[in-house]
Chains A and B, each alone.
Chain A
Amino acid sequence: MSFLHFIVLMPFLATILIPFLYKKWGHRIHTGWFVVFVPLTIFISLLLYLPEISNGNFIATSMPWIPSLGINLDIYLDGLALMFALIISGIGVLVVIYSIFYMSKEREALHNFYIYLLLFMGAMLGLVISDNVLALYTVWELTSISSFLLIAYWYERKKSRAGALKAMLITVFGGLMMLAGLIMLAMISDTYSIREMIASVNVIQDSYLFIPAMILLLLGAFTKSAQFPFSIWLPDAMEAPTPISAYLHSATMVKAGIYLVARMTPIFGGHSLWFWLVAGIGLLTLLYGSLRAVRQTDLKALLAFSTISQLGLIMSLLGVGSAAYYFSGGEQQELYALALFAALFHLFNHSTFKGALFMVVGIIDLESGTRDIRRLGGLMAIMPVTFTIAVIGSLSMAGLPPFNGFLSKEMFFTGMLQAAEVNMFTLEGFTILFPIIAWVASVFTFIYCFILLFKPFFGSLRLDQLPKKKVREAPLGMLVPPSILAILVVVIFFLPNVLSDSLLKPALLSIGPFTSLNEIPFEITAWHGWNTEIYMTIGVIVVGLLLFFMVKNWNSILRIYPDNLSLNSLYNSGIEKMESSSSSFTNFYMTGSIRHYIMYILIAFVGILATAVISLDSVSFNLNFKANVSIYDVSILAAMVVAAFMTLLTKNRITAIVSLGAVGYLMVMVYVIFRAPDLALTQMVVETATTVLFLLCFYHLPKFGKRIEKLPFKLTNFLVAISVGLTFTVLTLIATNHKLYHSISSYFENAYELAGAKNIVNAILVDFRGFDTMMEIAVLLIAGLGVFTLIKLRSKDGDNNETK
């Protein structure tokens, strides 16, 4: 166990301590103050690795878990992992501080909250630095589970539970798909290590499992990162407390899918299907999210759709960037690798401004009592600091200078313009759509950013509309975390290359087709001359402003789209249909009638036996057997058949019982002619006792039960019965005709020498196979006890129903 292992396991260890701390000091000191040291320690420890990683090195260590199966806690800390880990722990610190002021010490069950949060943090850290795919899957599902727990934190609310369930179903579905994909990759490459998989990329690309593994992995990534059409869980996950929305559903968990796609790019990059799926779905998500976000009236829902849209943006950049693997070196490769670089840059930027915006919304919610933009307005004068942070966050999201969103948006346009010239894959004509979709989505992004900024803060303050009458600025502690993020947003704009050199380039080294840091030529510049990108940005601003001020005139167009065709209602009706169809299917065959169940068993039985007999072509028997037939045999068997038919056909139960007795006594005679004296004796005694029992049972029937009933003829019963009989006749004939081995019976003929008995059957029963007899005695004993219990024991409730 190395120091890195300790860092990853620290949140899990802390979860054990939290309940004790909460119990001892929870009522005096907010539990969050204890928790904040965990991400802080992790963040600082990770910073210590930064110089090493920035030089293009990596750190790999391992700890055995299930070594016999090759499953170990392998850690691989490279640029990509470190970048994610720093985002996770850094924003973790800020979110915990924010939650100290957001979550009330008196009203909330804080120990639950922080345990779930720490579980999530540990799982997420483990996810990004794990090199072993099965360990990766384990923590991947742990993020789903802890996210489920956090969304349903206020479990007494119906919407929280529904949102948590939806998120769980969708992400676990994707997780299982991903597991299948990872196992396929492990099968092809014969290793569980991602690094070794990347090393054996040629083997993987030649395998027939390459495409299935790719699609399954992408399903996992798309569900987790809320890509179209799996994005529906994210808006519903907004029922979680706002610190959770800020942390999980904007900065970290939804980027797990992005991480997976980035991590797998060296394996799948360069393939046209990967390019089209990742870039296409990404752009679709970008457009869908930005269009839906404009319609929202709830601030958190707006942010949720904006998150979906921005995740689509990052995903599309990763898709376009994967084309870099198609080329080996040269200017083309560099141009596409720029898209990968832009994806990483925007990923970092998005974590900063989106985290800040969620915290802003949380402040508005807490201070005014509502998140509905139709009731909010004029908060600018009351909340100047919050307003400033909101300005920075939303303008950065809109892609305006002087904020970091501007830089990554420009690089996004560059990447998409580059994609338009893709001509090495099939369907190249469609790539011209890439920059157009990107531009349209950017316009809508611009509009919802302005809605987010203008609706709550400008206009007139309508105190009568707000649940809380006294609206004031948030406490300092709540403002510090978003302020830090907002400062970061501005600082990154002015000093982008510090971030780029220390984090982004090493991260690009992990996912791009480069072998050393020196090969990466990118410099981020705020001003890059009058080129297409800057005209596109100006176009976004002009068109966006125009549309924003006329928003009332066209916004209703977006509402024309009917709600019952939305993905949500598709999901809901799909779930309902699945439930109703499975229950109607169950009710269809689980009738509760014993007759039906016996039919299923017999039909299956006959079906399997008949198929086996016919398909194995074993219907071969001759009818010339050794035993001779005498007139006695024929008449006894004929009498038995007649008696059996009497049992079946009679209307009277007494007749049925007596004719069954006749069958039994005729069996005695059959045993006699088949030379089985012991059987004949036993059968006679048993048959007598059985008949007596039948008659006894019949005698005790209630009066009305003695009615004479004819067995009604049912064709299905008859057919089943006939086929069962036919099957057994055929089976008997086949079996008697195929004697593969000699019988072992000659051994038992030594009964006198071995056991001192002259009756061979009895010697078998008590000497050679005495165990059977003992158990058979036990069966008789248990049956006797059962009969006794049935007669003697009466339940208290049952006595009332008893008809005597």
Chain B
Amino acid sequence: METLVAIVIGILFTIGTYLILSNQMLRIILGLSILSHAVNLMIITMGGLKQGGPPLLAENTTRFTDPVPQALILTAIVINFAVTAFLLVLSYRTYKMHGTDNMDELRGNRHG
């Protein structure tokens, strides 16, 4: 299972990286989202997969899945959401100001 997840992480990283190397702002933000999914997957894999029940004490189990990565990911998801929302509004404003979402065109006038 871990091997499979590792390969999926690699694929998601590849796709995310390829997207943030494009020159359209929306695609860059899409790429960042995919990268964050990949990172979350990576964190949860580090805690070990399927090694017990959900971390709820009411369950009549003695073995729980590692709760620490889950807490970390929960924080990461929220922060990532905040950043994505901000970036989206920023790109929206950039559209309105400059009328383009092409990063090359947004480089500014280098010749004065």
- Residues on A lying within 8 angstroms of B by beta carbon are 592-595, 598-599, 602, 623, 625-629, 633-634, 637, 640-641, 644-645, 647-648, 653, 656-657, 660, 663-664, 667, 670-671, 673-679, 682-683, 686, 689-690, 693-694, 696-698, 700-702, 704-705, 709, 711, 714, 717-718, 720-722, 724-726, 728-729, 732-733, 735-736, 743-745, 748-749, 751-752, 757-761, 764-765, 769, 772-773, 776, 779-780, 782-784, 786-787, 790-791, 798, 801-804
Contact = CB atoms under 8 A, between A and B. Distances in A.
Contacts of A776: 75, 78-79
B79 A779 contact: yes
Given A663-B34, A697-B92, 6 more contacts: A598-B20, A676-B70, A721-B17, A735-B46, A780-B79, A804-B96
A627 B1 contact: yes
The 7 residue pairs across chains A and B that have the minimum distance between CB atoms:
A725-B14, A729-B10, A783-B82, A627-B1, A760-B55, A721-B18, A721-B17
A599 B103 CA distance: 15
Given A675-B54, A748-B68, A736 B45 contact: yes
Given A700-B92, A728-B10, A595 B30 contact: no
A686 B81 contact: yes
Interface in B69-90: 70-71, 73-75, 77-86, 88-90
A602 B67 CA distance: 31
Contacts of B86: 783, 786-787, 790
28 contacts: A592-B110, A593-B107, A625-B49, A637-B4, A644-B11, A647-B15, A648-B19, A674-B44, A675-B54, A676-B54, A677-B54, A694-B29, A697-B89, A705-B101, A711-B27, A724-B17, A725-B14, A726-B10, A728-B42, A729-B10, A743-B66, A744-B68, A761-B74, A765-B75, A776-B78, A779-B82, A787-B86, A804-B96
A374 to B, nearest CB: 47
Contact of A714 (B8, B21, B55, B57): B21
A795 to B, nearest CB: 9
Question: What's the interface size class on B, roughly?
Answer: 35 or more
Contacts of A803: 96, 99
Interface of B: 1-15, 17-24, 26-30, 33-34, 37-38, 40-42, 44-58, 64-68, 70-71, 73-75, 77-86, 88-93, 95-101, 103-104, 107-108, 110
A711 B31 CA distance: 13
B21 A760 contact: no
Given A664-B37, A760-B64, A786-B86, A765 B97 contact: no
Nearest to A712: B22
A700 B52 contact: no
B2 to A, nearest CB: 4
Contacts of A627: 1-2, 48-51
A27 B80 CA distance: 71
A678 B47 CA distance: 16
B74 A765 contact: yes
A50 B1 CA distance: 92
Contact of B90 (A629, A653, A700, A790): A790
Given A592-B108, A593-B104, A728 B9 contact: yes
A718 B15 CA distance: 9
B53 A675 contact: yes
Nearest to A709: B24
B17 A720 contact: yes
Contact of A769 (B5, B9, B71, B97): B71
Contacts of A765: 71, 74-75
Contacts of B48: 626-627, 736, 743
B79 A729 contact: no
B1 A633 contact: yes
Contacts of A683: 77
A725 B7 CA distance: 9
Given A647-B19, A769-B71, A593 B78 contact: no
Nearest to B58: A758
A656 B23 contact: no
A598 B35 CA distance: 14
Contact of B49 (A674, A694, A726, A783): A674
Contact of B18 (A718, A744, A745): A718
B68 A656 contact: no
A193 to B, nearest CB: 56
Given A625-B2, A733-B6, A724 B14 contact: yes
**Most chain B C-beta atoms within 10 Å of own C-beta, residue among A633, A694, A761:** A761
Contacts of A641: 8, 11-12
A393 to B, nearest CB: 57
A591 to B, nearest CB: 8
A595 B1 CA distance: 35
**Most chain B C-beta atoms within 10 Å of own C-beta, residue among A644, A769, A786, A802:** A644
Contacts of A702: 95-96, 99
A735 B43 CA distance: 11
B82 to A, nearest CB: 4
A503 to B, nearest CB: 64
B42 A690 contact: no
B3 A725 contact: no
A602 B17 contact: yes
B14 to A, nearest CB: 3
Contacts of B49: 625-627, 674
Given A725-B17, A760-B55, A745 B67 contact: yes
B68 to A, nearest CB: 5
Contacts of B97: 798, 801-802
A763 to B, nearest CB: 8
A628 B50 contact: yes
Given A595-B103, A674-B49, A679 B73 contact: yes
B21 A595 contact: yes
Contacts of B34: 644, 647, 660, 663
A725 B10 contact: yes
Contact of B85 (A671, A693, A724): A693
Given A592-B110, A628-B1, A640-B8, A656 B27 contact: yes
Contact of A599 (B21, B23, B91, B92): B21
A733 B2 contact: yes
Contacts of A671: 44
